[in-house]
Amino acid sequence: MIAIGSNIITPLGDNLTMNIQQMLSDCSSVKIYDNKWNLPPFAASMFSENYIEDLFASYADSASYTQFEQLAVLSVAKAIEESKIPVDSRQVVFVVSTTKGNVHLLENNPQSEDLYLWRSAEKIARFFGNTNPVIVVSNACISGLAAQVYAHRLLQQGKYKYVVVVGVDILSKFIVSGFQSLKAISNDFCQPFDKDRKGLNLGEAAATVVYTLEAEHGIFNYCSGAIVNDANHISAPSRTAEGLYKAVKKMNMSVAPQELGFINAHGTATLYNDMMESYCIDRLQMNAVPTNSFKGYIGHTLGAAGLVETLLSVQSLKEGRVVATKGFKQQGEEKIINIVHNHLSTDKKYFLKLISGFGGTNAAGLFSIP
Amino acid sequence: MKISSYSKIGSRQVTLNHQCIAVPQTSNSWYVDIYHALQIDYPKFFKMDTLSKMGFLMAEMVFPSVFSDRESVKDQVAIVCCNSQASLETDRKYWQTVATNDAFPSPSLFVYTLPNLVAGEIAIRNHVLSETSFFVEKQFDADCLLSIAEMSFQDRQIKYVFLSWYDASQAVSYMIENSEEDNRQLIIKQMQEIWMN
């Protein structure tokens, strides 16, 4: 499957080049929020107030769109522009990946129809004149990679020629208080794979990819992907990485580990996730492959993460760089793997994306650049 | 493809493959009554939200009716759950614990504000180390649902899809079995009839 259009918007920037530039300059959009929403202090990557609204206002009338929808539309618009597809035709289908959509509306507008994910997703597709049924994937934190697996299958079914995959989530008191109640959030900058890691930083973002099966000039290729549940616990991964390991095995990777430029791990900086991932990489005997996490730059962007991190990985590989794992200093007690300390150079063409989430979900994807 | 088995939970009736299951009232909860009627012993059930309870109970009926041994099928079944409101009911309950001044956010409610937890609960109970997914659709549409199951069959290892749909007070599950037979229209018709009855 070939990507012919892409975009990401994070608080680091509204395009891929800018995001990677910032990351290679060690910049992070994670900030400490003290007393926001009357919550205990937390660190997160959030858009500055009115940023999305202002960007959208210069583009269209914002009255009937929520901030969540505006962010998605802005990202889709740029990806579609690049791909030049006839977005309003029957050949195009939208796949929207999100965990919580407009859940913030519960606070001030609890009866709003926009609380329904399908409705919000339809508004995004209809904005572009697309009238096909919209598919909403809500598979916890793996949604953004799962959506790409489904995009591939949708194209193979033959009904559509193009799939627009958009991953988007924004933060609210609902989401932050929840992760705080689970004691999963750090009030300091996160430290993926570090022995002193204390939890995750959440983040806001949107990312879009336009996929098709055949194209002359692609930006990158989705080679294969798989989703496997570890059937272990609803909010804790299998210690032996049963699901994630099986997901990678199931993909039947067409390349040897030596051909991977890097593994982009989920690396949330929670105790259990990072331990599980190091166990997985060890079981795969990929200990030597440079492995990084982007969470220190943009936080964990929830339903957008699988797409955001795929695109950032593509862009870094295109620039011949492997981005360092911001926040990482010293490995903990887990299996020893090759966590990237400092930015590296690479001439390889493949990377492996790993991701896991609540409900026992795991997904893996293999991608390449031309 | 064929429908190997189905189960349905209505607001007053429980059905497994055309058979009504007697549900005596033993508690003040309809889902707990079904749990008792099915003679299940699985204490985690009581911690689940309504969506997960519905999915769990439907799977408790369908899985044993298709597989004699839970362990034998764990790689071959994909679990697909779909509805129109995701976890909105639990979202509202969780939000109450945040919004009420003297309450603390409830972590046990918060985890269920991810709708795919229902698929996770079914996977854990049935030791399914395979694909699980949650999709949100505007309304029950048998054609659309079957297309989603067909996507799972693109993975050649998958022989069955546990395909389920949830409304506020009614839910249905079909165990779709893959086979060479091409009778898509018939299955859609059967799915609709089962849902409407």
Length of chain A: 370
Between A99, A136, A173, which is nearest B114 by CB?
A: A99
* A180 and A236 both lie in a single domain: no
Strand partners, B5: B175
**Alpha carbon distance B52, A247 (integer Å):** 24
* A45 and A108 both lie in a single domain: yes
Domains of chain B: 2-196 (3.40.47.10)
CB contact under 8 A, B154 and A156: yes
Residue type, B73: V
Whether B111 and chain A come into contact, CB under 8 Å, resolves to yes
* A200 and A339 both lie in a single domain: no
Q: Which of A253, A353, A344, A236 has the alpha carbon at shortest distance from A305? A: A353
CB contact under 8 A, A106 and B95: yes
DSSP one-letter string for B90-116: HHHHHHHHHHSTT----HHHHGGGSTT
How high is the pLDDT of residue B69? 81
What pTM was estimated for this model as a whole?
Answer: 0.97
**Alpha carbon distance A139, A150 (integer Å):** 12
How high is the pLDDT of residue A172? 97
Q: What is the mean pLDDT of residues A156-169?
A: 97
* A50 and A127 both lie in a single domain: yes
* A107 and A91 both lie in a single domain: yes
* A224 and A189 both lie in a single domain: no
Categorize the per-residue pLDDT at B102 as very low, low, confident or very high, splitting at 50, 70 and 90.
low
Whether A182 and chain B come into contact, CB under 8 Å, resolves to yes
Our measurement of the distance from residue A155's CA atom to the centroid of its chain's CA atoms, rounded to an integer in Å, reads: 21
| Last residue of one domain, picked from the residues A212, A239, A259 | A212
CB contact under 8 A, A133 and B114: no
**Alpha carbon distance B96, A350 (integer Å):** 46
Say what percent of chain B tops pLDDT 70. 99
Which range has the worst mean pLDDT, A193-207, A325-339, B23-37?
A325-339
Whether A228 and chain B come into contact, CB under 8 Å, resolves to yes
User: CB B51: neighbour CB atoms within 10 A?
Assistant: 25
Let me know the angle formed at the C-alpha of A100 by A96 and A102, rounded to the nearest 5 degrees.
90
Between B99, B120, B157, which is nearest A360 by CB?
A: B120
The ipTM is 0.96
Q: What is the mean pLDDT of residues A268-273?
A: 96
pLDDT exceeds cutoff 70 at B101: no
Whether A109 and chain B come into contact, CB under 8 Å, resolves to no
Q: What is the mean pLDDT of residues A328-350?
A: 93
| Last residue of one domain, picked from the residues A179, A212, A245 | A212
Contacts of A286 (CB under 8 A, 6+ apart): A257, A260, A263, A337, A352
* A186 and A312 both lie in a single domain: no
Q: Which of B181, B167, B177 has the alpha carbon at shortest distance from B9? A: B167
* A249 and A334 both lie in a single domain: yes
| Last residue of one domain, picked from the residues A212, A235, A255 | A212
Q: What is the mean pLDDT of residues B55-76?
A: 90
* A182 and A272 both lie in a single domain: no
State the CATH number of the domain containing residue A284: 3.40.47.10
Question: Angle, to 10 degrees, between the axis of helix B142-153 and the axis of helix B184-196?
Answer: 130
Let me know the angle formed at the C-alpha of A260 by A257 and A263, rounded to the nearest 5 degrees.
95
* A227 and A136 both lie in a single domain: no
Whole-angstrom Cα Rg for chain A = 19
Q: What is the mean pLDDT of residues A178-188?
A: 94
Whether B26 and chain A come into contact, CB under 8 Å, resolves to no
How high is the pLDDT of residue B84? 97
Residue A232: list chain B partners with CB under 8 A.
124
Name the residue with higher pLDDT: A63 or A20. A20
Name the residue with higher pLDDT: B99 or B93. B93
Helix (H) or strand (E) holding A86: none
User: CB A197: neighbour CB atoms within 10 A?
Assistant: 23
Min Cα–Cα distance to chain B from A231, Å = 4
* A103 and A186 both lie in a single domain: yes
pLDDT exceeds cutoff 70 at A258: yes
For chain A, the average pLDDT equals 96
Min Cα–Cα distance to chain B from A242, Å = 8
How high is the pLDDT of residue A335? 87
Phi, psi of A56 (to 5 degrees): -70, -40
**Alpha carbon distance B73, A168 (integer Å):** 35
pLDDT exceeds cutoff 70 at A78: yes
* A177 and A255 both lie in a single domain: no
CB contact under 8 A, B105 and A150: no
Counting the structural domains of chain A, the total is 2
Owning domain of residue A77? 2-212
Helix (H) or strand (E) holding B20: strand B19-20
Q: Per the structure block, which two tokens stand in for A114?
A: 């926009």
Q: Per the structure block, which two tokens stand in for A94?
A: 């939208």
Whether B20 and chain A come into contact, CB under 8 Å, resolves to no
Residue B121: list chain A partners with CB under 8 A.
234
Residue A139: list chain B partners with CB under 8 A.
116, 132-134
Mutate one of A96, A251, A361 to test the B interface: name it (highest B CB count within 10 A).
A361
> What digits encode the pLDDT tens for the residues A224-239?
999 999 999 999 999 9
Mutate one of A111, A181, A233 to test the B interface: name it (highest B CB count within 10 A).
A181
Categorize the per-residue pLDDT at B74 as very low, low, confident or very high, splitting at 50, 70 and 90.
confident
